[in-house]
Amino acid sequence: MQIFSAVGNGLGQLFGYVLWFFFDLFDNYILAVICFTVVIKLFMFPFELKSRKANAKTMGLNKKRLEIQKRYKNDRQKQSEEIAKLYEQEGVNPAGGCLPQLIPAFSFMGVYFAIVRPLTNMFHIAADKVSQAEAILPSIVGSGVKLNQYYSQLDVIKYFPKAQSLFNMFSESEAHDIHDFHMGFNFFGMDLSPTPAGSSFYEFVWIWPVLCVLTMVLSVFIGQKLNTMPTPEGQGCMKFMPYAMSLPYIFFVFYAPAAIGFYYLIVNILTIGQNFVISKFYNSHILTAREEAARIALRDIEERKVQKRY
C-alpha cells in the first residue's frame, strides 16, 4: 500500500502541474479536465496504435497457430516450441500489445492522486501547512459532521470560504488559488467533492458512476464491433476481458470524489471517438495488410541480395 501511495503521489504531482495549468487558464475544473484528458489521449495514442498493430500481427497468425496446435495436440512441449518458432520467424511478440494497456491505469492513478490531494499535488503547497489546515477542520465543521481523512484536502477547499481567516497558514497567493479552485470545482452547481458512496440519493452524486458504467459498456461494445478481425476459436471469453478490466475503475468512481467520476466519463467519451478514428484509418484489416506488404517487401529485398551474390 505504501508503494502504491508513493507511486501515486509521484504521478499525482507530475499530472498536477498539467491539470493546474489548464485550471489556471480557464478557472474551471470541467474545462481543465476536458483539456487535460485530450492531452493525455493524444499522448497515449501512439501506444494504443502500437498495441493494435501487435494484436493485428498476432491475430494474423492464428490460422497457422491453430494448425500447429492440431498437429501436435498430444505433445504440448513440441506445440509450444513450434508456436514460439512461428512467432520468432514472423517477428511477432505475443505480449507486445499488453504493456500499452497498462498506461491508462497509471494515467488514472496520477489523476486520482492529483484530484484527491490538490493542495500538495496541484498547488504544491508545503506539507506542514496542509497538515495545519487539516488539523483545524473539526473545529470548523462541528462535531456532527463526519470527515473522511483520506479526502481531507478536498474538505479544506470545501470549507475554505466559510473560515478563511482560520486558514492563516496559507500565503496570499495560495489562498487565492484555493478560493478559485473552490469556485470552479463544480458542474453546473453540483459539488464534485462528495463521494457517491457517502452521499444521499437526492444529492444526485450517484449519476457519475451510472454514466461511467454506461459509457464504459458503450465504449467496449463499439470498440469490439468496429474491430472486424475475427476472434480465434477457443478465445471467445476474451471479448469479456475489457469489461472485467474496467471494474476496478468503476469501484474507484463509486468510492472516490465525484470529480474522479467526471474524469473517467470524459475518458470513456473520448475513447468512443478514438475507436471510430482507429477503425477508419487503423482497423485490423488495414494493419494486417500493411504488415503483410512490409513482410513481402522485406522478403523480396532479401531474395535480391541472395541473387546478387550468385
How far is CA 210 from each of CA 202, 215, 250, rounded to the nearest angstrom?
15, 9, 9
How is the chain split into domains, by residue range? Answer: 2-309
Q: What gap in Å lies between CA 82 and CA 80, rounded to an integer?
A: 6
- Show the cell assigned to 93: 511478440
The pLDDT profile of the chain, 310 residues, written as one tens digit per residue, is 567 677 888 888 888 899 889 988 888 888 888 998 898 888 888 877 777 766 666 666 677 777 777 777 777 777 777 777 777 776 666 665 555 667 777 888 888 889 889 999 999 999 999 999 998 888 887 655 567 778 889 989 988 988 888 999 999 999 988 988 888 887 777 888 888 887 888 788 889 999 999 998 888 888 777 765 555 544 555 566 666 777 788 888 888 888 899 999 999 999 888 888 877 776 666 666 666 666 666 666 766 766 666 5
Is residue 130 within 8 Å of 156, Cβ to Cβ?
Answer: yes
pLDDT at position 233 is 47
Distance of CA 98 to the CA centre of its chain: 14
DSSP characters over 141-210:
H-TTSPP-GGGHHHHHHHHTGGGGGG-TTS-HHHHHHHHHHHHHSEETTEESSS-GGGS-GGGTTTHHHH
Query: What secondary structure does DSSP assign to 272-296, as a single string?
Result: HHHHHHHHHHS-HHHHHHHHHHHHH
pLDDT at 283: 62
Cell for 127? Answer: 506539507
Let me know: does 226 contact 277? Beta carbons within 8 Å: no
Q: Assess contact for 68 and 83: CB atoms under 8 A.
A: yes
Are the C-beta atoms of residues 156 and 133 closer than 8 Å to each other?
yes
Q: Count Cβ atoms within 10 A of the Cβ of residue 249 and give its class: 0-12 exposed, 13-18 middle, 19 or more buried.
A: buried
Cβ contact 229:285 at 8 Å:
yes
The residue written with cell numbers 495560495 in the block is 174
Q: Is the CB of residue 182 less than 8 Å from the CB of residue 122?
A: no
Enumerate helices (H) and strands (E) in the chain, giving the number of each. 14, 2
Residue 215: its pLDDT value, please? 92
Name the pTM for this structure: 0.76
- Residue 191's DSSP bridge partners are 186
